[in-house]
Amino acid sequence: MKIIKSRLIGTRCIKAKDPNIQLFQVRMLLNQHRDALVDRILTDLSTYIDFKFKTQPARSDLIVLFERLSAFKTKDVDLEFYEPILKQLNRKDEIILTNDYFFMEIDEQIRLNLNPQLEFAA
């Protein structure tokens, strides 16, 4: 049994023995955690963009970003991007999710939509 702790979604247990089912359950938890972060960002998107990117987007840009981030929540996390979390989970039976990788993915989405000609390399 694996235990994943998140400050956003609480403590969750992965009880499945089959590695494929475990991976599916972990992906669902990562999705939930990321979606909770996106929801928090969306509550004050303008302030977040000003803080993180040092820019004040136009109202029309905020509307587009809000829609794109909302749509982003419908996509599954890319497990390759979260490989360090998966490796940590393989080594330990209990982990605490930090927001670092999640913010990197979310910020990349914002950056690409704020300034489409720039690409973010993590």
Q: Do residues 110 and 49 make contact, with C-beta atoms less than 8 angstroms apart?
A: yes
> How far, in Å, CA of 30 to CA of 50, rounded?
26
* 10-36: pLDDT as tens digits: 999 999 989 899 999 999 999 999 999
Average pLDDT, the chain: 91
**Dihedral angle, C-alpha 11, 91, 79, 100, nearest 10 °:** 60
Quickly count: other Cβ atoms within 10 Å of residue 105's Cβ.
19
Write the pLDDT tens digit of every residue in 54-72: 989 899 999 999 999 999 9
pTM score of the predicted model: 0.88
Domains of the chain, by residue range, sit at 2-105
